[in-house]
Copies of this chain bind each other. A is one copy, B any other.
């Protein structure tokens, strides 16, 4: 079954394997006459590039986004937009040992189980490299969000067990982890350095804030805005949990604590995270994605090979210590794609 498409109006289909010829995306349903140039896409793409923090691999990918269709004289034409990034610097031989051995925590075993075949080079389709397509589509989505005055930011609120105490978004650009609490970021830095030394890896939590979202987005009862956001975030490889607003904290509150009072000027609090009954309420939309530790570690692990024989693996080579902060751009892209889609969906309601 096809599963590589998301969105009903702003329809995004990613394609490509880690060490194939290229990775990319087709976006169908982008409205016409939107200025779109490769620089903007490139800028967002650069944010998921490795090498920016000590948590990330030193693999140098000169990822260049090229638009192949759907844009004419700098404007979208309303036809499918194909964007491609060629795969270079791919060292497939490094993955040869895992052609027949399943790396724990990876999709090796499940892809093989499902398809009976898998491109083991660099993780194939299950590689985080697939997110290149997501991020480029997210960049296109943000050009739409601009028109509606919507902005989306993703930042790190937890890494390696260290939690940010504050959300000063200006501080997030002062550290490599995109953490809005510079002090916490420093603790993260030292924690990550330790974990790296041990050959281990770390997880964390990314918060995504969408501001300027108009009231009324979301299509109950299944395509609710929070449901679509949850799916979009959970579809990112490393994400194991998603929260909206107060999230799991709300479960421990009383109704009188959790309910956001309504005033003529808006909501008095935002436990709802900007979404009530699946529809945006005009407040900031706040979500969190729980990111598991990178499964590739050099510490020895127990596993099996394709013949179900016991094996041990110790994964050497260029791997991130944490998916954070590179995954932040992916979270931001996914939220942007969902919001762009729902902003467009909303247009059809205004016919009366």
Contact = CB atoms under 8 A, between A and B. Distances in A.
A130 interface: yes
B276 A106 contact: yes
B110 A279 contact: yes
Interface string A280-315: 111000000011111111010111100011100000
Nearest to A34: B352
A97 interface: no
Nearest to A32: B115
A42 interface: no
Contact of A310 (B69, B77, B264, B278): B264
B4 A82 contact: no
A3 B352 contact: no
For chain A, the bracket of interface size reads 35 or more
Nearest to A107: B277
Given A29-B2, A126-B220, A261-B302, A277 B77 contact: no
Given A68-B22, A82-B16, A253-B293, A28 B3 contact: yes
A348 to B, nearest CB: 5
A68 B15 CA distance: 9
The 5 A-B residue pairs with the shortest CB-CB distance, nearest first, are: A107-B277, A3-B219, A201-B255, A3-B223, A110-B279
Interface stretch (A47-55, A56-64, A165-173, A228-236): A228-236
A96 interface: no
Nearest to A227: B235
B251 A240 contact: yes
A32 B117 contact: yes
Contact of A259 (B110, B231, B246, B301): B301
A134 to B, nearest CB: 8
Contact of A295 (B205, B246, B255, B348): B255
A70 interface: yes
Central interface residue in A158, A240, A272, A295, by most chain B CB within 10 Å: A240
A15 B82 contact: yes
A253 B205 CA distance: 12
Interface in A147-202: 147, 158, 161, 195, 198, 200-202
26 contacts: A1-B348, A3-B223, A14-B80, A16-B68, A16-B80, A22-B82, A23-B69, A29-B348, A33-B116, A33-B117, A34-B352, A79-B125, A105-B259, A110-B277, A111-B279, A125-B220, A200-B256, A203-B250, A203-B252, A205-B251, A240-B244, A240-B273, A253-B293, A261-B302, A263-B304, A268-B302
